Amino acid sequence: MFFNKVPSVAYHELPANAVIIDVRERHEYQQHKLPRTKNVPLSRLDGFHSSKTVYVICASGARSKRACEVITQTQY
């Protein structure tokens, strides 16, 4: 199963220099921003590329899962 390949990490356990993408829609992000995050809504994630390890967050995990699939597919 794909999701088993992507580990879960608590926000407070992330490295200080982590690239953290919040894939919630902009209005959701504006209501509850976390420090050190960049908002890239899932609907705009196609073509996203990073040479660094990317950590993905959302409200419940469903969009994060999909975002991991999208990012993984564009990396290969």
Domain count, the chain: 1
User: pTM for the complete prediction?
Assistant: 0.83
**Residues 34, 29: Cα–Cα separation, whole Å:** 8
pLDDT score, position 27: 96
Q: What is the 8-class DSSP label of residue 47?
A: T
**Boundaries of domain holding 11:** 2-75
Q: Which pLDDT belongs to residue 75?
A: 60
Question: Number of C-alpha atoms within 13 angstroms, CB side, residue 68?
Answer: 18
Q: What is the pLDDT along the chain (76 residues), one digit of tens a residue?
A: 444 567 888 889 999 999 999 999 999 999 999 999 999 999 998 878 888 889 999 999 999 999 998 888 866 5
Provide the CATH number for the domain around residue 21. 3.40.250.10
Q: Which helix or strand (DSSP H or E) is residue 62 part of?
A: helix 62-75
